[in-house]
Amino acid sequence: MINSRTKVFGVVYAALSALFFISCQQTHSYDWQWVDLGDGQSRISFPAKPILEETPTKSITGGSFTSHALKVKPVATVAYGCTWFDDPSLTGMSAEDRLNQARDNGIRGVQGTLVSEKRLTIQGHPARDVQITARGNAAFDNRIILAGSRLYILMVADVTGRHDAQNIERFFNSFTPR
């Protein structure tokens, strides 16, 4: 027979497990705001006001281009980013090769491991959704889009390993390429 102490322990354990599960599934509540990417056509909604960084970058053929990045860390454990650039040295590569290269560079950049990859089309442009894990169980959700000669990389990183699917989808689906 189960004694009352065992029943109480079981009820407490079940309640704590349910609370833990619910807290892991909760999404952050952000102050979403639209940001224009500067070309008059592309825009995206960020969970807080992002900071713009522009970096002169060397291409693989020795030329140069400017890489643009909007980044924000709305809470201590989560970061959102959108990077875009036109690398003239890559114009001879196929769309598939350019998306593969962007995926591989992202994995190398965080010393991560590919968890999943999905090929898709975003407003007629070839794209990939990529999930990566890295040191300390960090989770990276990336959407890579090739629009003409421009490559866009959307990224959500969570150092706790969570995938806040609701906010990730909101961020990814808000993007409008040129």
pLDDT digits (tens, 9 = 90+) for 30-73: 989 999 998 788 999 999 999 999 999 887 777 889 999 999 99
pLDDT, tens digit, 9 for 90 and up, residues 90-142: 788 899 999 999 999 999 999 999 999 999 999 999 999 999 999 989 999 99
More confident residue, 75 or 20: 75
Let me know if residue 14 belongs to a domain. no
* Residue 26 pLDDT grade (very low, low, confident, very high; cuts 50, 70, 90): low
Return d(Cα 169, Cα 10) in angstroms, integer: 37
Number of structural domains in the chain? 1
Let me know if residue 40 belongs to a domain. yes
More confident residue, 154 or 63: 154
- Contact status, residue 137 vs residue 113, Cβ threshold 8 Å: no
Let me know if residue 119 belongs to a domain. yes
Let me know if residue 7 belongs to a domain. no
Let me know if residue 8 belongs to a domain. no
CATH number for the domain spanning 117: value is 3.40.1000.10
Judged against a pLDDT cut of 70, whether residue 83 lies above it is answered with yes
Let me know if residue 9 belongs to a domain. no
Joined tokens for residue 162: 């969570």
What are the residues whose beta carbons fall under 8 Å from the beta carbon of 138, sequence distance 6 or more?
A: 110, 112, 157, 158, 159, 161
Let me know if residue 6 belongs to a domain. no
Nearest Cα neighbor of 41 from 114, 150, 144 is: 150
Let me know if residue 15 belongs to a domain. no
Residue 170: which domain range? Answer: 29-174
